[in-house]
Amino acid sequence: MIASTDNNKAEKDHPDNLSLAGDGFDTVIKAKQALDAVANCRNKVSCADILTIATRDVVNLAGGPRYEVELGRRDGLSSTADSVEGKLPHPTDNVNQLTSLFAKNGLSRKDMIALSGAHTLGFAHCKLVFNRIYNFNSTTQVDPTVNKDYVAALQGSCPRNVDPSVAINMDPTTPRQFDNVYYQNLQQGKGLFTSDQDLFTDSRSKPIVNLWASNAKLFNQDFVNSMIKLGRVGVKTGRNGNIRRDCGAFN
């Protein structure tokens, strides 16, 4: 949330975060301003809690489950681009790499697969899929795990000479609906990233993909459980944080 200054490059300006939509930040900032305009609410709700609530509400508004959000977080006291390095999953990660990264935050492989289901919503940039559809390795240009029709669609949306920041849907089937179609897409070779498709390719994660692809209710339940666990990662309380007046600046 913190904006960079002349003296500090903040987390949001790390390359891994540059695809985050600006209107998402604006929504949290406006919600904070609306809360603090009410005398009884002023300086009582952190930006971290607002962001967590907003995440739940987006899921619910898009047709997904509604769940209770644990509250009481404080906002962090530092934000540096360097601190992001190695903390976020990459589009080229495989199940081993993803499992290891999530385990560092107390999250299981099942949590990782469930949270990957959030890719049922949102978008990515063409530059993140160029390697899968044009330059996969020394023997084949196209990743053989990608559905051939999906390859054609991706190449149509992301031709070689396109602006690499052009946006494409994470879910090519129901991009604005929170549902279990993400897992059905994986069964058909329509995972956008290697990190998506490998969930179906790897025999350890494939059974869970198949289960959730056929059972939306169970996926929703497991997604909620994993989101609650994710919401406990790195929580700041007491003197380890504060409640900002401005979500985009330390104050």
Dig out the tokens for 1 from the structure.
């949330």
CA distance 232 to 242: 17
The answer to whether the annotation marks 201 as part of a ligand binding site is no
The answer to whether the annotation marks 125 as part of a ligand binding site is no
Residue 74, strand partner residues: 236
The answer to whether the annotation marks 174 as part of a ligand binding site is yes
Q: Could you count the other beta carbons within 10 Å of the beta carbon of residue 59?
A: 21
The answer to whether the annotation marks 11 as part of a ligand binding site is yes
Dig out the tokens for 180 from the structure.
């279990």
The answer to whether the annotation marks 14 as part of a ligand binding site is no
The answer to whether the annotation marks 89 as part of a ligand binding site is yes
Positions of E strands within the chain: 123-125, 167-169
Q: Which of 77, 67, 93, 62 is nearest to 201 (CA)?
A: 93
The answer to whether the annotation marks 179 as part of a ligand binding site is yes
Residue with tokens 């054609």, as numbered in its chain: 152
CA distance 198 to 191: 8
Q: b/e per residue, 103-123, with b = 16+ CB within 10 A? A: eeeebebebbbbbbbbbbbbe
Residue numbering of the annotated binding site for Ca(2+) = 11, 120, 171, 174, 179
Binding-site residue positions: 11, 89, 119-120, 171, 174, 179
Residue list for the binding site for substrate: 89
Numbered residues of the known binding site for heme b: 119
